[in-house]
Structure 1
Amino acid sequence: MMKMVMVMVMFLYGAEASIGINWGRESAQRLVPSQVVDMLLQNGIGRARLFSSQTDIVAPFEGSGINLTITINKIAFIKTKELATEEIYIFGYVFATSLEAISQAVEVQRMLQGILNERGFGHVKVNTPHIHPELVPNVTKPSQIEFCDTIKPYMIQHLQFLRENNAPFLIEAIPIQINFINNFDPSFAFPGNASTQVINDVNGAIYTNVVEWHYDSYVWALEKLNFSDIRLDYSLLGWPTDGYTGANASTAEYFYKHLLPWATSDRGTPKRPGRPINVNVHSLADEHKIKSFPYTRHFGIYRSNGQPKYKIDLSGQGRDIYPTTIRGIMRMPDRWCAFNGDRRDMDKVKAQLDWACKKSDCTSTFEGASCSSLTLEQNITYAFNMYFQYQFQDEKSCDFDGLGHVVVNDPSTDACVFPVEVVKGQQVNFQANNSGHAFRPSTAFFYLSILLFFSYQTLYF
């Protein structure tokens, strides 16, 4: 009996670069996949990377012409070819936190690619993205950068695998974070010619932004391992709009205004001029349930109501336009949960405030964020309301031990929006692993995701 399975046909890298977009679903109000497909087509996006892999999420992409990247889960359990074959049917992603896990990731890559090759799907490429902590720290010039000694043996194995399969080396970058870690001038985070900081390197290379600096750091690192023939692409590159100093809609708009035309120009970098570089914008929507760094929750181009936060030309032409609104999303009634002002027991108030923030998201009230200037009472209301909206305005969720009540007057300020979220849509996310928990990659040292590039098809094994 033949077994039907959805497998992946690789996005074929052409002579010109293209822009893709990432879509994660770590949020209370999740966009419906069919709406996302419609939005991508309206904006001319031909590539997408999904962090969710269930059939009902992937299926709407069938016949759309959109090329997908999906990640594979449960690396710790893939110890045999039989288990690897089964994993071809169960798409998820990998989270490696140790050298042992990195070594296993290399082995799993080979197993999965071998199975695909045997079945005649060699055009499907298994891959792993990489982040900056793999490189030696505290080095300013890209030409002086190399991989950390501890991971070089595994990196060489990975690079050999990529070369054998004609696959690109994938890097991920959050410029606002890399800029901070390296103590660069804030202006250095933005592509373009506005930086007040300039880094001069060998052979006349001049760096005025962290995107090209970061890219060429990896180019040099690959060259030092004798793998300068391998192509590099950005599988994740984005700018947050809240939760961090300098993270707002204006800076995000400015960042993409200069980044995307650079990506589509095929101008390349000082080390690799004239080379096309594919870029995946991160990301489609905010993910308020991510547990890692606060600003990682605010990368969305779109709000949960389908409205874009800022102007961005996803075609890469640099036009001063908003992307297409996501249609068919319904907003909940104009109701908010507010603190009733009872301060007789401030220990209880603080406990309820902390609990609400733990169960929802208060990163917009952090220092430097959009709601950082709120009063104590406004902070409490903000936290109560976030949890209330997470619970889709269930009135029981606004009790807070007698400290909360539902109001119809908007408590928002000029600078801070107290959100009203959208109606409860599709809440299916992705299957938990064998431990009963679902993982979501975060920006952490030695995190690896095994990726498959494909256009959605239904094939028979």
Structure 2
Amino acid sequence: MQKYQTIWSSNVTHPTAGFVAAQLQDSGNIFIQGFPNNTSRGNGTIIWQSFQYPADSVLPNMKFILNNNPEFRKVVQAWKSPSDPSVGRYSVGTNSRFFQIIIWDGDRPYWRSGPWNGNIFMGTRYHNTGYGDILINTGSFAQEEVRGMLSLVFTGANETLLPRYVITDQGILAERWWDDSKKNCGMPRKIYVTPMLLKRVCAKEHGGMEERKLDKWVCEKKEAASLQSGVQGGKQDGFLRLKMMKVPVNADIAEWFVGLNPDQCRKTCLANCSCLAYTHDTGTGCMRWSENLIDIEDLSPGGVDLFIRLEQSELSASKRYDFRNNSDCQYHILPVQMESSEKGACKVEGLGVNWGTQANHKLPLSTVVQLLKDNGIQKVKLFDADESTLSALTGTNIEVMVAIPNGELAAMLDYHQAQKWVRSNVVRYNFKGGVNIKYVAVGNEPFLKTYNGTFENATLPALQNIQNALNEAGVGNSVKATVPLNADVYESPQSNPVPSAGRFRPDIADVMTQMVQFMSQNNAPFTVNIYPFLSLYGNPDFPVNYAFFDGGATPLDDNGIQYTNVFDANFDTLVSALKAAGYGTMPIIVGEVGWPTDGDINANINNAIKFYQGLLPRLAANTGTPLRPGYIEMYLFGLLDEDAKSVGPGSFERHWGIFRYDGQPKFPMYLASENREIYLIGARNVQYLEKQWCEFDPNAKDLSKLGDNINFACTYADCTPLGYGSSCNGLDLNGNVSYAFNVYYQTQYQKLEACDFGGMARLTMKNISTGNCNFTIQIASSGLRTAVSAACFTITVLTYLFFRV
């Protein structure tokens, strides 16, 4: 590496730290250096340097640091404008288990370089400006490993030119330089000017690749790519070779084999039935994909050869392939610009989420609404009709299902009360720019067996009164009343336990038939909650693989139809029950479906990922079920963890969220696509309490009431992660006590007296989380913001009503 001269030094002696100097090198690097023996002679220790903390520019010898902890992700941050150095919307950083440079637009990936293979970034074209090395040229970066962190160091090849790379306020990574021989600045060159491009090749349900949703895709004729016929995978297998391509965006979750040569890489793909594509490069080795290929691009000259696996029937005799009709021309998917998370092919059009609010510390409503928008969620199901929540949803055009809780069903038996409810919670918001209410959920699983018939007599009359009130108010054509029901309202007889034998439960068959008849007359859907997890939880003999979608379970044969998962079997049991009642074509909404991530031995992150990785591609492909193929409208359960929910059904009840309590994603998933590499986007600007924890004091003398204090803490806070098979089950005694004390302390807004427990607790500034067990820092209260939001909405409504009159 080039040696640089110090051109200025502070030469200051610190009374305690010895001789410390702040120095400026002719490279532009400012660093603080400590010297031994209180003298500036010799090699000192660099305490801090600006080149590891860049602003909007990358200079020679600056470092990109790879660290998967987002708190330590070093980024180059754009200015707000050329004349305003405050923080702008764009930034540059790294991610993935091998280096990849990312331009971020806020929290969204905007452009990526492709992985670093030791010489180049594989997602960029080869070129040279003549003014020194650009990011993609061999030798412009060198890889280092310091203190367990990898970094790439940018260097310049021409000593007469001083290059730098700037992320502009427009999201452009531009090359600029100072020509020392001419004493002037060269004209800036734009290196990366386009947002991330989403080209999608989608996996077929039964192997091979296909293009889906053609109205959202663009195709271009291109010279035929060469094809290699596969033999190890059988007669049906072959590979379409796409030359000089950008490695797909989901390189992070590709299978990665460093030591394989190209032929071995090809053979491993052929031998694995789930392998859909592979690529090989001397730097990164063998990468293979079992999921959709996202952000592929022709990079000639540059890129790598990408081999897509196809069935022989999809390959023409001339070894040319068209993604649509096997014509004589090769079709290549062109870019679709990612302007927001709502765009792109393979979108799950019918997907919504359940938004529950039973939490001790709630995110601000505006934050949650922004979370919905950032993740492209266009449908939300509520469990009430809270004014503050609906005010936050005003003007978003997010489709909403409001709800009447079970405890209010009896009141709806009075038609005047039903009319009042409809006016206050539906008609009130029915104006241009209001709330897009589409459904009213009358109760929630009111016929659940554990309710022992409590709501059976009230549910149907309440449903009728609400729908009639909607019709009378003039909104019945666009707003439908439905009843979210548990899957226990139908069943198959023990003598013939197959989906085609499905019937409504005998004790409620009459009321169910009347309900279905009424909803059908009003063109309302049947809403059912299906939980494969509960099938597993409630039956120790239930086959585990049957709860998932990967086909690993022994199929259930029903007159030649093979059911390989409980979701399809459950759904089709309902289809059969509706058919038996005379309403076989009635629309069905899956009101709740999901997988919890804590509180039980089967409730964990890995199982949740496995479940959603099976469910979401089916939704995107409109696979449906054997008896009801095609589109299914569905709401995931749920959006956020809720630490104040009842644990009567099980400790897992507080852990259904795809996001944590603070709106941060638990695992990689993309609600608007069947691809799992484009991660969920977390809540923005979350305000937390102070970074301090309450822990057990092992030096406490009187432990006689330790058990009482633990019970007290866990009565008023959520200790479910401590249960058997849960995330914190492996803690020792001190750890269990500390967890209980801390969760109570956080729930009580870190009040000083909440970390006492008779002198058995103490505060610590050290994060005492361990392994998979997270000792949380709670979020700050959102009560004030909620009140302000509701007040603003009230003003909006009053203004609308005033001008309407």
Same fold flag (TM > 0.5): yes
How big is the shift at 1:252? 1.2
Pick the aligned partner of 1:262 from 608, 614, 618: 618
CA contact (8 A) 2:710 2:741 kept: yes
Query: TM-score with structure 2 length normalisation?
Result: 0.49
CA contact (8 A) 2:556 2:564 kept: yes
CA contact (8 A) 2:442 2:463 kept: no
Tell me the residue number matched to 2:663. Answer: 306
Pick the aligned partner of 1:99 from 441, 447, 453: 453
SS in 2 for 1:99: coil
Q: Which has the higher strand share?
A: 2
SS in 2 for 1:260: helix
Query: TM-score with structure 1 length normalisation?
Result: 0.85
How big is the shift at 1:313? 1.3
- Cα distance in 2 for partners of 1:146, 1:424 equals 48
SS in 2 for 1:20: strand
SS in 1 for 2:481: strand
Tell me the residue number matched to 1:181. Answer: 538
How big is the shift at 1:54? 2.1
Tell me the residue number matched to 2:479. Answer: 124
CA contact (8 A) 2:526 2:586 kept: yes
SS in 1 for 2:705: helix
Tell me the residue number matched to 1:229. Answer: 585
Question: Is the aligned partner of 1:246 residue 2:595?
Answer: no
How big is the shift at 1:332? 1.8
- Structure 1 residues 127 and 427: alpha-carbon distance in aligned structure 2, compared to 1, 3 A threshold: farther
Tell me the residue number matched to 1:61. Answer: 393
- Cα distance in 2 for partners of 1:426, 1:321 equals 33
- Cα distance in 2 for partners of 1:120, 1:145 equals 37
Query: Which ranges in structure 1 are unaligned for 5 or more consecutive residues?
Result: 1-15, 431-457
CA contact (8 A) 1:19 1:316 kept: no
- Structure 1 residues 261 and 419: alpha-carbon distance in aligned structure 2, compared to 1, 3 A threshold: same
- Structure 1 residues 90 and 361: alpha-carbon distance in aligned structure 2, compared to 1, 3 A threshold: farther
Pick the aligned partner of 1:209 from 555, 565, 568: 565
Any idea what the Cα deviations from partners look like across 1:137-167, whole Å, max 9, x if unmatched? 7854222332221110110111011111111
Any idea what the Cα deviations from partners look like across 1:329-351, whole Å, max 9, x if unmatched? 12222211111136766551111
RMSD of the TM alignment (CA)?
A: 2.4
Tell me the residue number matched to 1:289. Answer: 644
- Cα distance in 1 for partners of 2:523, 2:786 equals 32
Higher alpha-carbon deviation: 107-116 or 328-337: 328-337
Pick the aligned partner of 1:71 from 403, 407, 419: 403
* Structure with larger Rg: 2
Tell me the residue number matched to 1:433. Answer: none
CA contact (8 A) 1:338 1:385 kept: yes
How big is the shift at 1:262? 0.7
Tell me the residue number matched to 2:782. Answer: 425
- Cα distance in 2 for partners of 1:52, 1:116 equals 17
Tell me the residue number matched to 2:166. Answer: none
CA contact (8 A) 1:237 1:280 kept: yes
Question: Is the aligned partner of 1:40 residue 2:40?
Answer: no
Question: Is the aligned partner of 1:190 residue 2:548?
Answer: yes
SS in 2 for 1:235: strand
Between 1 and 2, higher relative CO (CA 8 Å, sep ≥ 6) is seen in 1
Any idea what the Cα deviations from partners look like across 1:212-245, whole Å, max 9, x if unmatched? 1111121122222222121112111111010011
Higher alpha-carbon deviation: 264-273 or 140-149: 140-149
How big is the shift at 1:286? 0.3
- Structure 1 residues 334 and 93: alpha-carbon distance in aligned structure 2, compared to 1, 3 A threshold: farther
Question: Is the aligned partner of 1:350 residue 2:677?
Answer: no
Higher alpha-carbon deviation: 394-403 or 358-367: 394-403
- Cα distance in 1 for partners of 2:554, 2:769 equals 38
The residue type equivalent to 1:407 in the other structure is T
Any idea what the Cα deviations from partners look like across 1:52-83, whole Å, max 9, x if unmatched? 42222111212212100110141122232111
- Structure 1 residues 368 and 427: alpha-carbon distance in aligned structure 2, compared to 1, 3 A threshold: farther
- Cα distance in 2 for partners of 1:175, 1:386 equals 30
Pick the aligned partner of 1:390 from 744, 747, 761: 747
The residue type equivalent to 1:58 in the other structure is L
Tell me the residue number matched to 1:155. Answer: 512
SS in 2 for 1:78: helix
Tell me the residue number matched to 2:574. Answer: 218
CA contact (8 A) 1:339 1:405 kept: yes
- Cα distance in 1 for partners of 2:417, 2:728 equals 48
- Structure 1 residues 162 and 382: alpha-carbon distance in aligned structure 2, compared to 1, 3 A threshold: same
Tell me the residue number matched to 1:448. Answer: none
- Cα distance in 2 for partners of 1:135, 1:144 equals 10
Count of residue correspondences: 416
CA contact (8 A) 2:349 2:672 kept: no
Tell me the residue number matched to 1:276. Answer: 631
- Cα distance in 1 for partners of 2:741, 2:601 equals 24
Any idea what the Cα deviations from partners look like across 1:282-313, whole Å, max 9, x if unmatched? 11110011113210100111123332110111
Tell me the residue number matched to 2:684. Answer: 327
Q: Which has the higher helix share?
A: 1
- Cα distance in 2 for partners of 1:325, 1:181 equals 33
SS in 1 for 2:578: helix
- Cα distance in 2 for partners of 1:333, 1:137 equals 54
Higher alpha-carbon deviation: 352-361 or 243-252: 243-252
Question: Is the aligned partner of 1:316 residue 2:316?
Answer: no
Question: Is the aligned partner of 1:27 residue 2:359?
Answer: yes
Tell me the residue number matched to 1:88. Answer: 422
- Cα distance in 2 for partners of 1:401, 1:90 equals 49
- Structure 1 residues 338 and 226: alpha-carbon distance in aligned structure 2, compared to 1, 3 A threshold: same
Any idea what the Cα deviations from partners look like across 1:27-60, whole Å, max 9, x if unmatched? 1121222112212122111101122422221112
How big is the shift at 1:125? 0.6
Tell me the residue number matched to 1:439. Answer: none
- Cα distance in 1 for partners of 2:615, 2:655 equals 19
CA contact (8 A) 1:305 1:330 kept: no
- Cα distance in 1 for partners of 2:643, 2:512 equals 33
Any idea what the Cα deviations from partners look like across 1:256-298, whole Å, max 9, x if unmatched? 122112112222111222x310110111110011113210100
Query: Which ranges in structure 2 are unaligned for 5 or more consecutive residues?
Result: 1-347, 426-440, 788-799
The residue type equivalent to 1:259 in the other structure is L
How big is the shift at 1:324? 1.1
How big is the shift at 1:168? 1.2
Tell me the residue number matched to 1:400. Answer: 757
- Structure 1 residues 428 and 41: alpha-carbon distance in aligned structure 2, compared to 1, 3 A threshold: closer
Tell me the residue number matched to 1:373. Answer: 730
